[in-house]
Structure 1
């Protein structure tokens, strides 16, 4: 099994890098984890709606190029489903048993995601209505993927 995490923008903060590295290390017993950081487009101040759509389309093209045809794609989107950790674990396990070799998770840029990417998703997932920095969301996501694997294993990690 392979887990791919596609994100728009670079991770700069050391404390977040360290936290993500810890969970990636823990996840390595379940799957190979690939982290794909894509360049974000510069957004001008007071950009028009058309400019924002163009930026999301450019970022979307970069994301699309990294998605495999048979990947099970989970897109983080505020309008997505909110699932308890147990249900997320069940969904990811079902995707694995359905023959998806790669679970691909996508976090878009600061403007959001191109609708084409959302349409490709097998699951639109929301971690709530809070607005979090994308870098922090990466840490939360990796921890939840780890938690989902531990739940599937019956581990007491999830209490």
Structure 2
């Protein structure tokens, strides 16, 4: 099953993008024997529309056109809070159900369009706090790596 992170905005070179790359490289290596592949980041440019509603609409269309067929997980502070083990169980279930891909979707500065959230298979929250997009990518990349270690029995994750 292919794993993708679809995000509005591009990360600049620096320690944040290096950390995302490091976790995703680890996830790729650990995911191969688990039938988890890709761990790609699909970046789309931010909309320049004049209103927040118009920006969300344009960004939703851009994101939807980039997503592979499969499970869509939107990230939003109002979403469901899952622990690492629960997220890993979801990934494992989707893989075992033969789902071709899981896309984790991170919105722009205005957030995600409500229609995209409503259409998603799961809306995930890392906290009720609002996080910078760079931090969300880092946390998501780490959780994806953590999921591969949990599934493989590696001692990285501790309960």
TM more than 0.5: yes
Residues 98-146 of structure 1, C-alpha deviation per residue, up to 9 Å, x if partnerless?
1111111000001011122112211100001122110111011000011
Counterpart-to-counterpart distance in 1, 2:19 and 2:116: 27
Structure 1 unaligned spans of 5+: 45-50
Counterpart of 2:58 in 1: which secondary structure?
Answer: helix
Counterpart-to-counterpart distance in 2, 1:10 and 1:43: 17
- Alignment partner, residue 115 of structure 2: 116
- Alignment partner, residue 28 of structure 1: 28
Structure 2 counterparts to residues 135-146 of structure 1, below 5 A: 135-146=134-145
Please identify runs of 4+ aligned residues in structure 1 that moved more than 3 A.
Answer: none
- Alignment partner, residue 54 of structure 2: 54
State the superposition RMSD in angstroms.
1.3
Taking structure 1 as the reference length, the TM-score comes to: 0.90
Q: CA deviation at 1:150?
A: 1.1
Structure 2 unaligned spans of 5+: 32-36
Taking structure 2 as the reference length, the TM-score comes to: 0.90
Counterpart-to-counterpart distance in 2, 1:16 and 1:136: 8
- Alignment partner, residue 44 of structure 2: 38
- Alignment partner, residue 147 of structure 2: 148
Counterpart-to-counterpart distance in 2, 1:92 and 1:116: 23
